[in-house]
Amino acid sequence: MNIEQQITTLRNELREHNYNYYVLDTPTISDFEFDQKLKQLQDLEKANLQFYDANSPTLRVGGEITKNFETVPHTYRMYSLDNSYSKEDLEDWEKRIEKMVDGNVEFTCELKYDGASISLTYKDGKLKKAVTRGDGFQGDDVTANVKTIRSIPLQLKGDFPPLFDIRGEIVLPFEGFTKMNAERVELGEEPYRNPRNTASGSLKLQDSAEVAKRPLDCLLYSLKGERLPIKTQFENLEKARQWGFKVPEAAKLAKNLDEVLEFVNYWDVHRHELPYETDGVVVKVNNLQQQEELGYTAKSPRWAMAYKFKAEQVSTVLNQITYQVGRTGAITPVANLEPVELAGTIVKRASLHNADQIEKLDIREGDTVFVEKGGEIIPKIIGVDFTQRDPNTSPTNYITECPECGTVLVRTEGEAQHYCPNAEGCPPQIIGRIQHFISRKAMDIEGLGGETVTLLVNNGLINNYADLYLLKEKQITPLERMAQKSAENMIKGIEASKQIPFERVLFGLGIRYVGETVAKKLAKHYKTIDALKNASEEELITVDEIGERIAQSVVSFFASEENIATIERMKSYGIQLEISADKLANQTDILKGNTFVVSGVFTKVSRDELKKLIEDNGGKVSGSISAKTNYVVAGDNMGPSKKTKAESLGVAIISEDDFLQMIS
């Protein structure tokens, strides 16, 4: 056997032993024998560098240093899940599904593990990339760190596709977490608070050798790719398991909602026996074609629902109520609590939402209150223990002036929130607007973070987002924690942001109620900031999904002389305030005024591409057939009830070829 064959044989042996130990939990050799083989491979590789392999088992020990984690886009967006907390929530969800798809609906039930979401890309069976969730559209490349996690295969086995992504959760088992903390306490260091945050923080350590020392695990649950050889979610899990991934065995195929609830009830009791943190169950429509039919809302898949186990609850003392000012001027009352441990974290503060909530619960400073983590994420006060109340306390009087600038607060009729109207002079509003402008989903300015914005505002260097484009290195370097390189990176990041497309600039302007999705719709409809600026309320309401409240807010924003002056300055600096010529070249109004429903499986373009073509050509995509539907684009396996409904309403049914001809 020559050197190359020896290296290949050892790599294959070690991969198999690694899989047996970390995925199947059934080791076939001792740790000593494994280490000996690993040492032998390391020596051979070191002496024969021409046989280097980026996915060799020897690289699991880490050693690569990453100072800046590159932000990369996800090939397939990572959506969040809608939450449910009761049987009734799941029943309502099932009814919505049954109205939208044909045939019997089965479900796959999986445990919802509490860790750090990750997306892994495999090409020709080798791990190419590992990216954190980030904002769902893009995340941080943490490949070097993820390669040290031994339950993640670096080389697949079996009949895997040539290219695909797989999603999962990186977790820290209780046993490993306890051991890590025991070592920290022995060294006189502060113990980690909970496994989830520790797992998440581990992915961003600069030295992958340090990550390799942590007993992280990875549980996989979802494949993403073009034309994968899989028809159901349950098959999705089985295939991933065959290719070498660690897929929890707890998953179950449920024929109806009763079986889903059996699964939920069982694990609500038995979850405490698991080696990992779990906070609920994820229920998914099993059939992947039905998943495609159901599609997505702006934030979540319609075909999946997270059922959250009952939240943990504790009582503690409310020491003081303070008030925060948001970027839109909204005032949020905050309960400052006697620190208390809740669901693995120390809770010191909780939102009280608004004046109505305080009055409804009759919350007062000094009260003993019941605190719950809604979905075990955000702490909230759910009630007062009146048996503990001092009879001499007075009801809480909500503030009447802004705690930051002293301006008298306003409260619009029909709204629960109080607002500070001093948009141009209230420091938290100024800072908050600029922080929103530079955020990842908006201008994504590299080298500039929220704390730096505060520093720049407090030092009088900027007062609104247009001022960023006048900054010079020599103004920045004297500031606290600012070196020459930091200043250079910031100026480069600000300059690069001039290429950010119009819809993201529009979102970054921070117009109240204009979120990411609304900004895209407005940008697409009006195409330039000037056309949007001149639109009336009546005109805005005619735009798809733009209601009266959004229309009023947009008109109000452009009625401000300060806002108009800022936008004119931004134009002069070269910021994208209209859709680029390239994008316009791919958009037409051919389908304007027509609503389409897409149903079935297509051969020339994917379902998502088909929907994009409809929208790029001025049409609207709907999830269900109604009297307002103009066309149903029908592929193979179109649901019979959809066909019947379209025919009964006189809606035209066209093929994929008919549609492509329509826009050609």
- Sheet architecture: strand order including 652-655: 620-622, 595-599, 631-634, 652-655
Residues 233, 108 contacting (CB under 8 angstroms) = yes
Q: What is the pLDDT of residue 378?
A: 66
* 246-283 confidence digits (pLDDT tens): 999 999 999 999 999 999 999 988 988 899 988 899 99
Residues 150, 264, single domain; the answer is yes
- Map tokens 């009055």 to a residue: 359
Write 354-363 long-range contacts (CB < 8 A, 24+).
Answer: 354/416, 354/417, 354/418, 355/398, 355/411, 355/416, 355/418, 356/416, 357/416, 358/321, 358/333, 358/396, 358/398, 359/395, 359/396, 362/395, 363/318, 363/321, 363/335, 363/396
* 196-215 confidence digits (pLDDT tens): 888 999 998 988 888 988 99
Residues 485, 364, single domain; the answer is no
CATH of the domain at 18: 1.10.287.610
Average pLDDT estimate for 434-456: 91
Residues 267, 334, single domain; the answer is no
Residues contacting 245, CB < 8 A, separation 6+: 23, 152, 153, 166, 168, 220
Helix (H) or strand (E) holding 306: strand 304-308
Phi-psi region of 403 (alpha: psi -120 to 50; beta: other; left: phi over 0): alpha
Residues 445, 456 contacting (CB under 8 angstroms) = no
Residues 58, 38 contacting (CB under 8 angstroms) = yes
Q: What is the pLDDT of residue 251?
A: 95
* 599-628 confidence digits (pLDDT tens): 888 888 888 889 889 988 888 888 788 888
Distance of CA 418 to the CA centre of its chain: 29
Beta-bridge partner residues of 224: 165
- Map tokens 């892994």 to a residue: 120
List, as residue ranges, the binding site for Zn(2+). 402, 405, 420, 426
Predicted confidence band of residue 293 (pLDDT cuts 50, 70, 90): confident
Residues 347, 258, single domain; the answer is no
Residue 589 is assigned to a structural domain of this protein: no
Residue 169 is assigned to a structural domain of this protein: yes
Measured distance CA(565)–CA(569) in Å, rounded: 6
- Map tokens 């059922």 to a residue: 307
Residues 612, 641, single domain; the answer is yes
Last residue within a domain, chosen from 421, 455, 478: 421
Residue 393 is assigned to a structural domain of this protein: yes
Neighbours of 59 (CB within 10 A): 20
Q: What is the pLDDT of residue 128?
A: 94
Neighbours of 99 (CB within 10 A): 10
* N-to-C CA span, the chain: 61
Measured distance CA(397)–CA(481) in Å, rounded: 41
Helix (H) or strand (E) holding 585: helix 581-585
- Could you give the residue numbers annotated as active site? 112
CATH of the domain at 575: 1.10.150.20
Question: Phi, psi (5° rounding) for residue 183?
Answer: -65, -40
Q: Is 51 helix (H, G, I), strand (E, B) or coil?
A: helix
Residue 264 is assigned to a structural domain of this protein: yes
Question: Phi, psi (5° rounding) for residue 32?
Answer: -60, -45
How many domains does the chain fold into? 6
Predicted confidence band of residue 376 (pLDDT cuts 50, 70, 90): very low
| Helices 450-458, 427-438: crossing angle, 10 deg rounding | 140
In 3D space, the residue among 486, 488, 492, 522 whose CA is nearest the CA of residue 504 turns out to be: 522
Q: What is the pLDDT of residue 577?
A: 95
Residues 143, 256, single domain; the answer is yes
Residues 377, 291, single domain; the answer is no
Last residue within a domain, chosen from 475, 498, 521: 498
Inform me whether the pLDDT recorded for 345 exceeds 60.
Answer: yes
- Sheet architecture: strand order including 217-224: 126-132, 116-123, 163-171, 217-224
In 3D space, the residue among 207, 184, 192, 199 whose CA is nearest the CA of residue 151 turns out to be: 199
Residues 405, 433, single domain; the answer is no
**Which amino acid would we find at residue 91?**
E
What letter does residue 354 receive in the DSSP assignment?
S
Average pLDDT estimate for 218-226: 94
CATH of the domain at 607: 3.40.50.10190
Share of the chain above pLDDT 70, in %: 97
pTM of the predicted protein model: 0.71
Q: What is the pLDDT of residue 386?
A: 92
Residue 285 is assigned to a structural domain of this protein: yes
List, as residue ranges, the binding site for NAD(+). 31-35, 80-81, 110, 133, 169, 284, 308
Measured distance CA(416)–CA(115) in Å, rounded: 35
Inform me whether the pLDDT recorded for 375 exceeds 60.
Answer: no
Across 151-174, b (16+ Cβ under 10 Å) vs e yields bbbbbbeeebbeebbbbbbbbbbe
Q: What is the pLDDT of residue 25?
A: 67
Residues 273, 360, single domain; the answer is no
Residues 259, 286, single domain; the answer is yes
Predicted confidence band of residue 425 (pLDDT cuts 50, 70, 90): very high
Q: Where are the alpha helices (DSSP H) in 170-242?
A: 174-186, 195-202, 208-212, 233-242
What letter does residue 397 receive in the DSSP assignment?
P
Measured distance CA(204)–CA(211) in Å, rounded: 9
Residue 73 is assigned to a structural domain of this protein: no
Residues 495, 447 contacting (CB under 8 angstroms) = no
Beta-bridge partner residues of 116: 170
Q: What is the pLDDT of residue 188?
A: 80
Beta-bridge partner residues of 429: none
* 34-75 confidence digits (pLDDT tens): 778 778 888 887 888 787 777 787 777 666 777 788 889 999
**Which amino acid would we find at residue 423?**
A
Q: What is the pLDDT of residue 377?
A: 57
Measured distance CA(286)–CA(108) in Å, rounded: 5
Q: Is 323 helix (H, G, I), strand (E, B) or coil?
A: strand
Measured distance CA(125)–CA(159) in Å, rounded: 9
Residue 67 is assigned to a structural domain of this protein: no
Average pLDDT estimate for 379-404: 92
* 161-187 confidence digits (pLDDT tens): 999 999 999 999 999 998 988 888 887
Q: Is 593 helix (H, G, I), strand (E, B) or coil?
A: coil
Neighbours of 88 (CB within 10 A): 9
| Helix/strand/coil (H/E/C) assignment for every residue in 383-439 | EECHHHCCCCCCCCCCCCECCCCCCECECCCCCCCCECCCCCCCHHHHHHHHHHHHC
Domain range for 632 is 595-663
Measured distance CA(106)–CA(286) in Å, rounded: 6
In 3D space, the residue among 157, 122, 152 whose CA is nearest the CA of residue 239 turns out to be: 157
Q: Is 660 helix (H, G, I), strand (E, B) or coil?
A: helix
Last residue within a domain, chosen from 563, 583, 603: 583
- Sheet architecture: strand order including 107-113: 83-84, 304-308, 278-285, 107-113, 252-254
Residues 198, 315, single domain; the answer is no
* 84-104 confidence digits (pLDDT tens): 888 999 999 999 998 888 889
Residue 75 is assigned to a structural domain of this protein: no
Residues 446, 549, single domain; the answer is no
- Map tokens 């009266």 to a residue: 548
Neighbours of 497 (CB within 10 A): 23
List, as residue ranges, the binding site. 31-35, 80-81, 110, 133, 169, 284, 308, 402, 405, 420, 426
Neighbours of 262 (CB within 10 A): 13
